[in-house]
Structure 1
Amino acid sequence: MIAVQDSAKARMPGAVVLALVMVTGHALGYVLGGWAVIDENQSKQDHGQDLLMPWALAWFVALFCWGLAVLQVACLVLARKRRHWVRVVLIVCLSFVGLSMVVAFLGSLVAGVPSLPAFVIAGLDVAALWMVSGEKGRGYFSARGPASGVSTA
């Protein structure tokens, strides 16, 4: 007799785990980045200096960063449930971050001081995007468990 493995309890591929580790790092970075924008603006105002950006824009940037962090944490939590939309959201978020890091690296090249961290993070983001959108990510997130109430015996 062959035991049937429940698709909801299938092991997550290592490539997907590595991509989720990258997403965890980005979520933490977004939380800290949003806080840093508000803190820096407040510090400049307290010392009578020109603001980093107008307060409305600073709060918009901070809330946008925190919203992305919440979305990414939700994807991390729900990744074990193998929802297809989680993969789509991860692809969009990793594409956004990867593109922004490529723009940051190109901006540093134009400024004459190449940024090695921006280059490395852009490369890691592209690799994570490839893992999630690739065959292993597609196979993991598209697998369906048996319909509720249906016997597999």
Structure 2
Amino acid sequence: MQSSPYQPEQARPASPGGVRMPGAVVFVLVVVAVHALGTAFGGWAVVEENRSKQEHGQDLLMPMGMAWFLALFCWGLAALLIACVVLARKRRGWVRVVLIVCLSFVGLSTAVAFLGSLASGAPNLATFVVTGIDVAALWLVSGATGRGYFSVRSPASPYIQG
């Protein structure tokens, strides 16, 4: 039976017995994935910049041991963020907590970077936009939409509004 173009089709769950992921949660996961890629690249960039300075006889950004520690920390954080993105489909409660903590840290650091650019007299529009996106993602994951999706206590409706 074909539906009429004047009657909206009923929404279907993503999988049998599954819960449909709200668009707001998808937005948050995309933001987190981009941050994870940037963090992994940043760890690599610190080590490479230190190596380049060492090869050219210039002062290092930081001691090489510290650069490697920072790179390993960044790569571990990026792996944790990617694990959260992958496991978000299973609606694990700890994923929401990790996302809130990481987005709080990232949002605070980009806000400090934006305030630093204001203090230097040259406001950075890109940092302002990233700060806004981070705050929006944090608000979405810590709000009712994130709580409703990641809640494991109550059975969620297969048609979560969001």
TM-score calculated relative to the size of structure 1: 0.87
Q: For structure 2, which runs of at least 5 residues remain unmatched after alignment?
A: 1-12, 156-162
Equivalent residues of 1:94, 1:128 under 8 A apart: yes
Correspondence 1:94-109 to 2 at 5 A: 94-109=103-118
Change (3 A) 1:8 1:131: farther
Q: Distance in 1 between matches of 2:67 and 2:146?
A: 36
Query: 2:148: which partner in 1?
Result: 139
Q: 1:113 Cα deviation (Å)?
A: 1.3
Equivalent residues of 1:8, 1:144 under 8 A apart: no
Correspondence 1:107-146 to 2 at 5 A: 107-144=116-153
Deviations 1:48-102 (A, max 9, x none): 1110111122112111111110100110111011001000000000000000000
Q: Does 1:92 align with 2:116?
A: no
Q: Distance in 2 between matches of 1:8 and 1:80?
A: 13
User: Aligned residues: percent identity?
Assistant: 70
When you count helix as a share of all residues, which structure comes out higher?
1
Q: Distance in 2 between matches of 1:82 and 1:107?
A: 37
Change (3 A) 1:38 1:58: same
Correspondence for 2:84 among 50, 75, 86: 75
Equivalent residues of 1:8, 1:145 under 8 A apart: no
Q: For structure 1, which runs of at least 5 residues remain unmatched after alignment?
A: 147-153
Change (3 A) 1:14 1:39: same
Q: Which runs of 4+ in 1 moved over 2 A?
A: 5-8, 143-146
Query: 2:64: which partner in 1?
Result: 55
Equivalent residues of 1:131, 1:137 under 8 A apart: yes
Query: 1:66: which partner in 2?
Result: 75
Query: 1:150: which partner in 2?
Result: none
Letter in 1 for 2:68: W
Q: 1:143 Cα deviation (Å)?
A: 3.8
Letter in 1 for 2:128: F
Aligned length: 142
Deviations 1:93-146 (A, max 9, x none): 000000000011111111221111111101000000011111111000004587
Q: Distance in 1 between matches of 2:111 and 2:66?
A: 23
Q: Tell me, what secondary structure is at the counterpart of 1:9?
A: coil
